């Protein structure tokens, strides 16, 4: 290789490297932008958390909810409550309703943000339908849960000390990637009130925001492996019975002071139906496993 060619390569090679880097940045710019927004709260982007481990503050804020549907998506979409008051650090469960008004199965995707935009870094969503593509069958209607909390660090931000209202806004668009959609029917009642009131945080066979509930009746409280129970529940020395579950669902924090579960089921008939479903499902699953184990 002569000297001229070597000189040319020294000039051309770095140019190719720069071009490759630029093409990579262009290709992955949406993902990089989302990561930046998620890390900094830029543009009112909320944070995502697996669990609420912060202490609850005395200070309260009002969280308002706004919902929109983009042109071309024949859905109704609205919050089931327009606003809730929450203590900083307090986890809150709310619901949004979505209905497909068309005769076709449609996949939608929700974008979201909070205002004031600076509060995005403090607004944490533990569970939300907005993280994935969602599919609704024709004329299907579902209630979708959102579990969130507002970080108490908000109160220490000098620019936000006077903020007492945060608006969480969603807009549903027709999805450009329907192949990876999940059915919103997973939020439809499978066990009377269990799906409506419990599946935002619990499943039967896996740990979610709350521990798995398979065979919960007869099980020692705080005993599911790998679930991070509160110290109060782990040391309660309690075995779950239908009666104990009724007291628990009525007011968990009064029944066992210091536990984290915030949700109450005030109606006695609803508590009865939920407990009956857990008994029925536990019995049915035990029979299926016994049958499978015996090879019959």
Q: Quick count: other Cβ atoms within 10 Å of Cβ 188?
A: 14
Q: What is the pTM of this model?
A: 0.54
Residue 29 has pLDDT above 60, yes or no: no
Q: In what order do the strands lie in the sheet with 47-48?
A: 47-48, 123-127, 141-150, 92-100, 75-79
Please report, rounded to a whole number, the percentage of residues in the chain having pLDDT higher than 70: 72
Category of 47 on φ-ψ map: left (φ > 0), alpha (ψ -120 to 50) or beta: beta
Between CA 6 and CA 242 the distance in angstroms is: 82
Please give the domain boundaries of the chain with CATH numbers for all domains. Answer: 48-185 (2.60.370.10), 189-294 (1.10.760.10)
**pLDDT tens-digit map of 63-89:** 999 999 999 999 999 998 899 999 999
């Amino acid at each position: 290789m002569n000297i001229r060619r070597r000189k040319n390569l020294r000039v051309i090679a770095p140019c190719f490297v720069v071009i490759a880097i630029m093409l990579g940045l262009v290709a992955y710019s949406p993902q990089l932008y989302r990561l930046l927004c998620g890390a900094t709260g830029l543009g009112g982007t909320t944070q995502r958390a697996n669990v609420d481990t912060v202490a609850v503050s005395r200070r309260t804020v009002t969280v308002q909810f706004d919902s929109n549907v983009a042109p071309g998506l024949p859905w109704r979409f609205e919050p089931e409550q327009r606003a809730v008051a929450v203590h900083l650090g307090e986890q809150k469960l709310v619901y949004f309703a979505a209905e497909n008004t068309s005769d076709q199965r449609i996949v939608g995707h929700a974008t979201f943000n909070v205002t004031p935009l600076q509060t995005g870094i403090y607004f944490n969503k533990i569970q939300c339908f907005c993280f994935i593509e969602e599919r609704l069958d024709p004329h299907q209607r579902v209630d979708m849960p959102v579990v969130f909390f507002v970080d108490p660090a908000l109160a220490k931000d000098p620019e936000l000390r006077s903020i007492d209202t945060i608006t969480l806004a969603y807009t549903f668009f027709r999805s450009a990637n329907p192949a990876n959609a999940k059915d919103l029917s997973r939020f439809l009642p499978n066990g009377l009130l269990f799906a409506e009131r419990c599946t935002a945080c619990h499943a039967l066979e896996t740990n979610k925001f709350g521990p798995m509930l398979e065979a919960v009746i007869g099980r020692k409280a705080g005993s599911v492996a790998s679930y991070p129970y509160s110290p109060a529940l782990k040391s309660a020395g309690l075995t779950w019975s239908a009666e104990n579950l009724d007291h628990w669902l009525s007011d968990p924090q009064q029944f066992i002071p210091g536990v984290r579960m915030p949700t109450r089921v005030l109606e006695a008939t609803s508590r009865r139906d939920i407990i009956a479903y857990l008994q029925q499902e536990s019995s049915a699953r035990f029979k299926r496993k016994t049958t499978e184990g015996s090879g019959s």
